[in-house]
Amino acid sequence: MQEMREFCINELPEDFDPDYVGGPRDQETQDFMKQFLKKGVKGGWTTAGWPKKYGGMGLTFMEQAAINSEMAYWGATWGGDAELILVAPTILTVGTEEQKQKWIPPIIQGDVTAFQTFTEPEAGSDEANCQLRAVADGDDFVLNGQKTFITGQIKPTLLYTLAKTADVPNKHRGLSIFMVPGDAPGITFRPLPTMGGSMQNEIFFDNVRISKNNLLGELNRGFYVAMATFEFERGTGGGLGAKRSMETIVEFCREQKRNGKPLNKDPKAREMLARLAINSHLGFLQGWFVTWQR
């Protein structure tokens, strides 16, 4: 999409490094990402695929994918992917009107930082084995348990949390989703730095009390809400940004030499590049196919 291409060219600095932005952020980087997000909000780009009623452009999945593809090419990110790609679309899908009015406007403005808190020591790919427990108590739920390997570098304002709310033989039928304030009493964060430079967290819930109004979707139907969230996360057209990476590899092989000759003149390197190009293009086509199926 030409408009998004021009936006990225005009707003991203010439020395913009997507890997640096995706790693540990200093204050200067945080400030830049906030300003970039504000400009995206002003242009309507951050919510282009949302209904117009809730601040979006009402674009189709294919149109949204075109925007995502252009952003991926330039390595651009809004710095709030969990809020904009996972949390808000799920709220728009299963939330009450009151919840939409409460959470959607601040998410659009970049005033909400959310962590997707699903993973536990014994519940990663097996989400049905979630052990963080939420027990009803009057007008509240009380949460106790632990989450781990939760990605995020800045203390969040919201924890988008999967919890166990019923003991039933089919465990996936006893889970619920909650919007937990990040500063609620009883929540403890413990950083887990990784070798790759990203920051993970362990999060502990010790008698964390939240209102029943923070239940998102139906009680004990949270597993299905979580699966819908994964659809937003996994079904956004993966592979659409592979073109830029392939161009970078080709340029590297053109500039680097081996035995006095550019790498791209080496038969083995050329074979490798050909395989990479084929796989990259297949990923690109698959991304569009996934988007088209939606």
Cβ proximity of 241 and 73 under 8 Å: yes
Q: How far is it, in rounded angstroms, from Cα 204 to Cα 199?
A: 16
Question: In terms of C-beta density within 10 A (0-12 exposed, 13-18 middle, 19 or more buried), how is residue 229 classed?
Answer: buried
CB 55 within 8 A of CB 106: no
> Which residue type occupies 25?
R
Residue keyed to tokens 């004990």: 220
Cβ atoms within 10 Å of 260's Cβ, excluding its own: 6
Rounded distance between C-alpha atoms, residue 189 and residue 155, angstroms: 8
247 is catalytic: no
Paired residues of 257 in beta bridges: 262
Provide the residue type at 266 as one letter.
D
Distance, CA of 169 to CA of 151 (rounded, Å): 31
Token pair of 39, please?
Answer: 């400009």
Pairwise CA distance, residues 113 & 134, whole Å: 22
Can you tell me whether residue 191 is helix, strand or coil?
strand
Name the active-site residue from 11, 202, 231, 233. 233
What does the block give as tokens for 56? 């979006």
> How many C-beta atoms lie closer than 10 Å to residue 266's C-beta?
16
End-to-end, the C-alpha distance of the chain in Å comes to 20
Beta bridge partners of 179: 160
> Which residues are catalytically annotated?
233
